[in-house]
Amino acid sequence: MYAIKRELKLNNQEKSFFAGCAGFSRFVYNHGLSLLHTTWDIPEISGSDSKRLDAIKKVFTNITKKQREYLWTNKYSSRIYQNAFRDLKKAFSRGRDTKIKAELPRFKKKKHNCSFTVDSSHGKVLVQEGKKIKIPTLGTFRLKESIPYNCVSQTFTISREAGKWYVSFAVSASYIPEMKHSYKKVGIDLGIKTFATLSDGKTFESPSSIKKAKTKLGKIQWRNRNKVLGNRRSGISASKNAVKYYQKLRKKHKRITNIREDFLQKTTTLLAKTYQHILVEDLNIKGMMANHKLSDALSNLGLYRFRELLSYKQECFGFLLTIVDRWFPSSKTCSVCGNIQDMPLCERVYHCQNCGQVMDRDLNASINLENWTSNADGLSVNPERSRRVNACGLEGAVSLG
- Which listed range, 148-156, 207-215, 243-251, 348-356, lies at the site for Zn ion (CB under 5 A)? 348-356
CA-to-CA dists, residue 286 to 61, 166, 196, 264, 298, angstroms: 45, 31, 20, 20, 11
Best CA proximity match to 280, nearest among 166, 203, 386, 365: 365
User: Binding residue for Zn ion (CB under 5 A) from 86, 339, 358, 382?
Assistant: 339
CB of 356 to Zn ion, least distance (A): 7
Q: Which is nearer to Zn ion, 159 or 333 (CB)?
A: 333
- Which listed range, 73-81, 121-129, 253-261, 335-343, lies at the site for Zn ion (CB under 5 A)? 335-343
- Residue 363 in contact with Zn ion, rule: CB under 5 A: no
- Residue 382 in contact with Zn ion, rule: CB under 5 A: no
Identify the H or E element spanning 27: helix 12-38
* Angle of CA points 166, 169, 170, to nearest 5°: 150
Residues 14-33 within binding reach of Zn ion (CB under 5 A): none
Q: Which is nearer to Zn ion, 272 or 398 (CB)?
A: 398
- Residue 365 in contact with Zn ion, rule: CB under 5 A: no
User: Binding residue for Zn ion (CB under 5 A) from 334, 343, 359, 379?
Assistant: 334
- Residue 352 in contact with Zn ion, rule: CB under 5 A: yes
Identify the H or E element spanning 118: strand 114-119
- Residue 354 in contact with Zn ion, rule: CB under 5 A: yes
Could you give the CA distance from residue 201 to residue 332 in angstroms, rounded to a whole number? 19
Asked whether 355 and 400 are in contact (CB, 8 A), the reply is yes
- Residue 390 in contact with Zn ion, rule: CB under 5 A: no
- Residue 336 in contact with Zn ion, rule: CB under 5 A: yes
CA-to-CA dists, residue 58 to 63, 64, 92, angstroms: 8, 9, 18
Could you give the CA distance from residue 206 to residue 260 in angstroms, rounded to a whole number? 8
Q: Which is nearer to Zn ion, 87 or 189 (CB)?
A: 189
- What are residue 377's phi and psi, to 5 degrees? -70, -30
CB of 368 to Zn ion, least distance (A): 11
* Residues binding Zn ion (CB under 5 A): 334, 336-337, 339, 352, 354-355, 357
